[in-house]
Amino acid sequence: MSVLPEIPHTLADYGWDSAFAEDFSLHHCHRTTDLIPGRIIRVDRGRCDVVISTRRSTSSDTSTAPVTVVPADIAPVHTSDPMEWACTGDWVALDPPSANTLATVRALLPRRTAMVRSTSSKRSEGQVLAANVDHVVVAVCLATQPDLGRLERFLALAWESGAQPLVVLTKADLATDAEYVRADTEAAAPGVQVLVVSSETGEGIDVLSAVLAGSTSVLIGRSGAGKSTLANTLLGQEVQEVNHTRDSDGKGRHTTVARDLLPLPFGGVLIDTPGLRGVGLWDAESGLQQVFSEIEELAQECRFHDCAHNREPGCAVLNAVEDGALTVRRLESYRKLLRENAWIASRTDARLRAERLRHWKMIHKSVRDSGVTRRR
């Protein structure tokens, strides 16, 4: 067993609920040995760290007992497809650790959402950076002129993951015209809540905490947007668990338990993994449709159903630009991101994608056939 101390959180604090419990029971009943549920908080070279309950007896106990962190082997669930690699946020079924064996992950439970980025390999494949995320919080700094095109790209990625995006306008204490920026931001983010916060004064932190409470969240945004500062503000005391502290002589660096997934003091967790913060687009066509939903709606009114909104007669999109209802900036941003996305998608091996789709359909079908109804 791990020598790590018990942490006064429960699996429920980490997002465990009855729908995951049902998915887990499907794996459980196929096995003679006792598998246990857990959530991956970090993956590192063939190993992962998993939070598990300190109590094993019944599932009702599991949700209220304190959790502990154990290292686990992920080799049995390794596949050739990076989209299916175990990642931070995954709920898993695992063999518990024993006196002389490491815990072993036997299955990943079906993901509700997945944050995906393109890898830099020659053959473009997606890689999952975080699983089962409920809120993607996009941080935009109020101290400088916001880059709305960049915001729209982050939002497309957020929508594409299946999570609910949220925009936080940070450093409100440095803002000269917060309301003006908020209005511009809201116009660039239909269907997305926009909150104004300051880690310096604490403005808006209570509202943000209430929105994120009980869910799994990630913070993304450009460098310097104030993500680390905001994460520390939200995590409060909890962050002490992960701080990298220097030796008293100032030479070496000690790491206590390094975690990419941290419990929030008001319930729920925050995922912060390297690579997730400045993530790029990957096959986010439906995400783009959601970011630019008003343009998609206008396009329904164009005279020609294949209208490219260039100079076609009866184009509702161009008419909206003429009326001032739609900005040229936003239409150009929409075109640019669609082109960028099409280019990335075209690099992806079509056969690979078809296989992946078939595989996931099979999983969904087997879940459906077992009579389990899923929440989302």
Residues that bind Zn ion (CB under 5 A): 302, 307, 309, 315, 317
Minimum CB–partner distance for residue 235 and ligand GTP (Å): 13
Based on CB atoms, which residue is closest to Zn ion, 137 or 317? Answer: 317
Residue (67 or 168) nearer to ligand GTP, CB: 168
Residue 292 Cβ vs ligand GTP, minimum distance, rounded to whole Å: 26
| CB closer to Zn ion out of 153 and 309 | 309
Residue 171 marked ligand-binding: yes
Measured from the CB of residue 293, what is the shortest distance to Zn ion in angstroms? Answer: 16
Q: Which partner from the list Zn ion, ligand GTP, none does 227 bind, CB cut-off 5 to 8 Å by kind?
A: ligand GTP
Of Zn ion, ligand GTP, none, which one sits near residue 317, judging by CB under 5 to 8 A according to partner kind? Zn ion
State yes or no: 351 annotated in a binding site. Answer: no
Burial (Cβ within 10 Å: 0-12, 13-18, ≥19) of residue 16: buried
Work out how close the CB of 145 gets to ligand GTP at its nearest, in angstroms, rounded to a whole number: 16
For residue 64, give both structure tokens. Answer: 């209220």
Partner whose footprint covers residue 39, from Zn ion, ligand GTP, none (CB < 5 to 8 Å by kind)? none
Q: How far is the CB of 222 from ligand GTP (least distance, A)?
A: 7
- Is 146 within 8 Å of 181 (Cβ atoms)? yes
Residue 209 structure tokens:
């905490």
- Tell me if 213 is assigned to a ligand binding site: no
Residue 266 or 304 having the CB closest to Zn ion: 304
Residue 173 marked ligand-binding? yes
Closer to ligand GTP at the Cβ: 67 or 157?
157
Of 109 and 197, nearer to ligand GTP (C-beta) is 197
122 is annotated as contributing to ligand binding: no
- Between 81 and 200, whose beta carbon lies closer to ligand GTP? 200
Check the annotation: does 172 bind a ligand: yes
Whole-number minimum distance, CB 195 to ligand GTP, in Å? 13
Residue 31, annotated as binding a ligand = no
Q: Which is nearer to Zn ion, 252 or 324 (CB)?
A: 324
User: Does 170 carry a binding-site annotation?
Assistant: yes
Does 227 count as an annotated binding residue?
yes
Q: Any residues with CB less than 8 A from the CB of 187 and at least 6 apart, and which?
A: 327, 330
State yes or no: 222 annotated in a binding site: yes
Q: Which does 199 bind (CB under 5 to 8 A by kind): Zn ion, ligand GTP, none?
A: ligand GTP
CB of 139 to ligand GTP, least distance (A): 6
**Please, which residues have CB within 8 angstroms of residue 242's CB and are 6 or more apart in sequence?**
256, 257, 258, 259, 262
- Strands 193-196 and 164-170 turn out to be parallel
For the CB of residue 243, give the shortest distance to Zn ion in the complex, in Å.
54
Residues that bind ligand GTP (CB under 6 A): 170-171, 173-174, 198-200, 221, 223-229, 277
3-state secondary structure the chain: CCCCCCEEEECCCCCCCHHHHHHHHHHHCCCCCCCEEEEEEEEECCEEEEEEECCCCCHHHHHHCEEEEEEEECHHHCCCCHHHCCCCCCEEEEECCCCCCCEEEEEECCCCCEEEEECCCCCCCEEEEEECCCEEEEEEECCCCCCHHHHHHHHHHHHHCCCEEEEEEECHHHCCCHHHHHHHHHHCCCCCEEEECCCCCCCCHHHHHHHHCCCEEEEECCCCCCHHHHHHHHHHHHHHHCCEEECCCCCCEEECCCCCEEECCCCCEEECCCCCCCCCCCCCHHHHHHHCHHHHHHHCCCCCCCCCCCCCCCCHHHHHHHHCCCCHHHHHHHHHHHHHHHHHHHHCCHHHHHHHHHHHHHHHHHHHHCCCCCCC
Indicate which of ligand GTP, Zn ion, none lies near residue 275 (CB less than 5 to 8 Å, by partner kind). none
Q: Which residues are annotated as a binding site for Zn(2+)?
A: 302, 307, 309, 315
Q: Which residues are annotated as a binding site?
A: 170-173, 221-229, 302, 307, 309, 315
Q: Which residues are annotated as a binding site for GTP?
A: 170-173, 221-229
